[in-house]
């Protein structure tokens, strides 16, 4: 495992620099969301469970209203959007509410 320790709960991104640092190594799942988004709220327990259960996964939450530039740079057009990163490189992207098993399949493919 890298020097970065995965958190057991999602990390709310507070700056572009923090985002860049946390996505630079290991396997990272970025949840692009908005507080007003119903499907985002439906997805939240799934994302939280994944963060708690997967030891080698870092989960970030990016509020698209607060960080429009990050969302735009990532090509996010609809939310919720889930972007996986592997060792600093964008890997798989999923849009919409997802089952935990589907996210675990993607995670397994990146390991």
Considering all CA atoms of the chain, what is the largest pairwise distance in Å, rounded to the nearest integer? 36
pLDDT at position 33: 97
pLDDT digits (tens, 9 = 90+) for 46-64: 999 999 999 899 999 999 9
pLDDT digits (tens, 9 = 90+) for 2-43: 334 557 899 999 999 999 999 999 999 999 999 999 999 999
Cα separation, 13 vs 56, whole angstroms: 19
* Catalytic positions, written as ranges: 37, 40
* Residues, the chain: 111
- Helix intervals (H) in the chain: 16-22, 38-53, 68-73, 100-110
Mean pLDDT of 96-110: 95
Q: Model's pTM, two decimal places?
A: 0.91
β-sheet with 27-33: strand ranges across: 11-12, 57-63, 27-33, 81-86, 89-95
């Amino acid at each position: 495992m890298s020097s970065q320790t995965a958190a057991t709960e999602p990390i709310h991104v507070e700056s572009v620099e923090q985002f860049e640092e946390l996505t630079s190594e290991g396997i990272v799942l970025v949840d692009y969301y908005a507080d007003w988004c119903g499907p985002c709220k439906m997805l939240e327990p799934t994302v939280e469970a994944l963060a708690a259960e997967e030891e080698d996964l870092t989960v970030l939450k990016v509020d698209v209203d607060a960080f429009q530039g990050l969302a735009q740079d990532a090509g996010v057009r609809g939310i919720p959007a889930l972007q996986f990163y592997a060792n600093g490189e964008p890997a798989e992207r999923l849009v919409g509410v997802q089952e935990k098993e589907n996210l675990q399949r993607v995670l397994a493919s990146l390991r």
